[in-house]
Structure 1
Amino acid sequence: MRSLRVPTKSSIPSNPGSTIMMKIELEGEKVRFYRLYICFAALKTGFIEGCRPIVGLDGCHIKGPHPGQLLAAVGIYENNGMYPIAYAIVEIENKSTWTWFLDLFKNDFGINNGLSWVFITDKQKSLIPVETLFPSAEYRHCVGHLYNNFKLLHKGLELKQRLWAAARATTVPWFNVEMSSLQKLDD
């Protein structure tokens, strides 16, 4: 497989400083597409200047005549809204494609050790190599994904509210109070 860096042309309206990386393979005269990474310079600048260093990582299926996976890195801006940072279209979601995506992300943002960064993912811990690539970063699981597993065995609105209250706790004592309350409801 070859990687191509697609330069931004200044003769057309563009976004100088954007990163577009494509992974292809030549099969004789034909070119076979494997992966595409995109991080627009304007989004990169906006994230650095206006967002906290918190990055949500997730993937979803692309259906239709050209199936694959969409991998995305999303930030949180000052009003707690979602802020797109970078995305990739890959052939399959696995450790290799996540490593490729996160290596490019790491280079785009000049992350050397991950200190002061937080990465949030679903429970597919073995697929997303955050702890390997960013050993000093904080690593957390998405409460939405945890709740989807939680609600299979623990039904009811009050249990849901207690779980989210525990997730929102900003101090250890507050978290312990909420967890105690959650455990009492489950008894």
Structure 2
Amino acid sequence: MVGFDGAFIKGQHLGQLLSVVGIDANNGMFPIAFAVVETESRDTWTWFLEIFFNDVGVRGPENGWVFITNKQKGLGQVIEALKPDAEHRHCVTHLHNNFKLAGHGSLALKHRLWAAARSTTLPWWEAEMDNIMEMSAPAHAWLQDRPAIHWSRSHFTTGPKCDILLNHLCECNFGGKR
């Protein structure tokens, strides 16, 4: 399990810090790589990930690699282009923030979204999505547009034994607060 993140560098020397943090079998987090770039873009993520994948030896899905991101600018497309068969998860905190920005900010909907994300079976996920539909058809439609394979445990592959839903691991190893 590897998390990717980008953060603003503030102060005299501006830029972006791109980082990669891993999780080991004991849920311990460790920094793997970082780079300072002028801007966070598809081009900078491509440059960074090509070097990372080559240096670390990410060859394909047979190695069991799982990536989690906050859906940064261009990052999803770069992962899809470079490693189309790898599992790519999205941070549920960031999904929820976008859910709120789309007008679905009630506490009840938040609880149902998180229940759907934490569900471990398809019937449980379907029941939570039915609950969301009963509460708000637009909220349900918004979530249906975001494939659950990226954000719900019920849709994650069973090979990797890490079921984290958050990508905060990058933030705590590379400077904490943004």
TM-score by length of 2: 0.67
Matched residue, 1:130: 79
Mark the runs of 5 or more structure 2 residues left unpaired by the alignment: 138-178
Question: Partner letter of residue 132 of structure 2?
Answer: L
Matched residue, 2:60: 113
Residue 157 in structure 1 maps to residue 86 in structure 2: no
Residue 67 in structure 1 maps to residue 14 in structure 2: yes
CA-CA distance at 1:81 after TM superposition: 5.7
Between the aligned partners of 1:183 and 1:81, the Cα distance in structure 2 is 37
Between the aligned partners of 1:79 and 1:162, the Cα distance in structure 2 is 29
Residues 144, 81 of structure 1: CA spacing in aligned structure 2 closer, same or farther, 3 A cutoff? farther
Pick aligned residue for 1:141 from 78, 90, 93: 90
Between the aligned partners of 1:82 and 1:182, the Cα distance in structure 2 is 34
Alignment of 1:31-42 (within 5 A): none
Q: Is the 8 A contact 2:116 2:128 kept in 1?
A: yes
Pick aligned residue for 2:116 from 140, 153, 166: 166
Structure with the greater relative contact order (CA < 8 A, sep ≥ 6): 1 or 2? 2
Q: Secondary structure at the match of 2:54?
A: helix
Residues 57, 177 of structure 1: CA spacing in aligned structure 2 closer, same or farther, 3 A cutoff? same
Mark the runs of 5 or more structure 1 residues left unpaired by the alignment: 1-53
Identity %: 58
Matched residue, 2:173: none
Between the aligned partners of 2:52 and 2:116, the Cα distance in structure 1 is 31
CA-CA distance at 1:139 after TM superposition: 1.5
Q: Give 1 or 2 for the bigger CA radius of gyration.
A: 1
Equivalent pairs, count: 134
TM-score by length of 1: 0.64
Matched residue, 1:24: none
Between the aligned partners of 1:149 and 1:100, the Cα distance in structure 2 is 27
Residues 60, 155 of structure 1: CA spacing in aligned structure 2 closer, same or farther, 3 A cutoff? same
From the two aligned structures, give the one with the greater helix fraction.
2
Residue 97 in structure 1 maps to residue 40 in structure 2: no
From the two aligned structures, give the one with the greater strand fraction.
1
Provide the alpha-carbon RMSD of the alignment.
2.0
